[in-house]
Homo-oligomer: A and B are copies of this chain.
Amino acid sequence: MKDQTAQNSIARKSLHEELADILREMIIDCKLTPGERINEKQLTEQFGVSRTPLREALKVLSKEGLIQLNVNRGAIVVPVTLSDLQEVFPVLAALEGAAGELACEKISDRDIQSIRKAQAQMEQAYSARDLSTYFQYNQEIHGRILKAADNPTLASHHRSLYGRVQRARFLANLSDERWQSAMEEHNEILAALEARDGARLSVTLRRHLAGKLAALTLALHEAK
């Protein structure tokens, strides 16, 4: 049996939750472009629902920092700006650090083994310069660490921050140097995990995220 929401198990979803899920994905995938205004009528027609559950979903997404509500002036998709990323990354890093520390206390050998595998496949993707596969395994590794931490609150806060950050992947592409550093950092992450050295994993993860932000900052400055 799998868990559905981390919150409660069997629960079917209410309409506003489903809408929030759909909209969240649209925003993260930049189907709704950053800065764009959200038109309630248009969305209700698109989804065939009334405004009530849609507006409830918007409240949720606002809490997640994906949209911004302005009284009497509707909602806009939060723009992806460098300063926003600089705000989010340190928080995300803190959470991943905490996840690493908790994971080291709780993770099973079996789970370490599958992270090891994902890491190997990620390295293959790196060698082949297959960015999309790389991303996939990269995300799987971080996801598995988070899951091993076994803390729904942590996971939930992480998810909402990660959503905000993900949209930046369309903004700048990974430099070769950064990619290599990331790979090295990942080796250290795995090592710390295998040693079950929580403190070390924590600092490594935080450094990893800091490196990611630094690379992004650089890339965005250059792009401009």
A interface with B by C-beta (< 8 Å): 7-8, 11-14, 16, 52, 55-56, 59-60, 63-65, 68-71, 87-88, 90-91, 93-95, 97-98, 101-102, 151-154, 156-157, 161
> CA of A1 to CA of B60 in the docked complex: distance in angstroms?
29
Copies in the complex: 2
Assess whether A91 is in contact with B153, with CB atoms less than 8 Å apart. yes
> Assuming the A-B contacts A91-B154, A151-B87, A157-B91, are A63 and B60 also in contact, with contact meaning beta carbons closer than 8 angstroms in the complex?
yes
Contacts of A88 in B (CB 8 A): 153
Contact B91 A16 (CB under 8 A): no
Task: With both chains docked as a complex, state the minimum distance between the C-beta of A163 and any C-beta of chain B, in angstroms.
Answer: 12
Could you tell me the distance between the alpha carbons of A59 and B59 in the complex, rounded to whole angstroms? 7
Contacts of A101 in B (CB 8 A): 90
If A52-B52, A87-B152, A87-B154 are given as contacts, then 19 extra A-B residue pairs at C-beta distance below 8 Å, sorted by A number, are A7-B68, A11-B70, A13-B71, A14-B69, A16-B59, A56-B56, A59-B59, A60-B60, A60-B63, A63-B63, A63-B64, A65-B156, A88-B153, A90-B101, A90-B102, A90-B151, A91-B153, A94-B95, A95-B95
Chain B residues positioned under 8 Å from A87 (CB to CB): 151-154
